Amino acid sequence: MAEPFVALFFVVDGQILLHKCRLENAEHYAEMRNYPRSHMDVWERHYKLKYNKDFDFYPRGRVIYDMRKDEFKIFYDTCCAKQAFKIRMMLGNRTCILKDDSNYTCSICRNHIKNEE
Ligand SMILES: [Zn+2]
């Protein structure tokens, strides 16, 4: 089975841009293990020049690990549910909860919400 990991990701034109690290290199916050960089950091370092958009333009999400429950959680923008599920598959048969999270809302979803108001 593949190595467990924590991660953050972006989804650009259906493609997953995944940045992950092993659990022992994760940031500790109480019983939670988190990828140690922010979406903004990773975006500015790797993608800003290429895509010429802000870090919150595309759908994105995060994989965290709860040590106490021995459980992974994937938080993601609803419009990249398919890609979040692919990432979930990379964790094999480990316990993993998928949860859409408005913190990761992309520009398309934001405009959509605006239009509905
Ligand atoms: Zn979205």
- As for how many domains the chain has, the answer is 1
Q: Rounded to the nearest whole angstrom, what is the distance from the C-alpha of residue 13 to the centroid of ligand 1?
A: 12
Give me the pLDDT at residue 13, please: 94
Q: Rounded to the nearest whole angstrom, what is the distance from the C-alpha of residue 81 to the centroid of ligand 1?
A: 10
Give me the pLDDT at residue 42, please: 98
Domain enclosing residue 31, as ranges: 5-116
Q: Report CA dihedral (51, 81, 68, 24) to the nearest 10 degrees.
A: -30
Ion ligand 1 neighbours, Cβ < 5 Å: 59, 77, 79, 106, 109
What is the per-residue pLDDT across 60-102, written as a single tens digit (0 to 9) for each? 999 999 999 999 999 999 999 999 999 999 999 999 999 999 9
Give me the pLDDT at residue 18, please: 98
Give me the pLDDT at residue 117, please: 58
What is the per-residue pLDDT across 46-59, written as a single tens digit (0 to 9) for each? 999 999 999 999 99
Q: Rounded to the nearest whole angstrom, what is the distance from the C-alpha of residue 105 to the centroid of ligand 1?
A: 5
Instruction: Calculate the alpha carbon distances from 30 to 2, 23, 37, 54, 67 in Å.
Output: 25, 14, 17, 31, 9
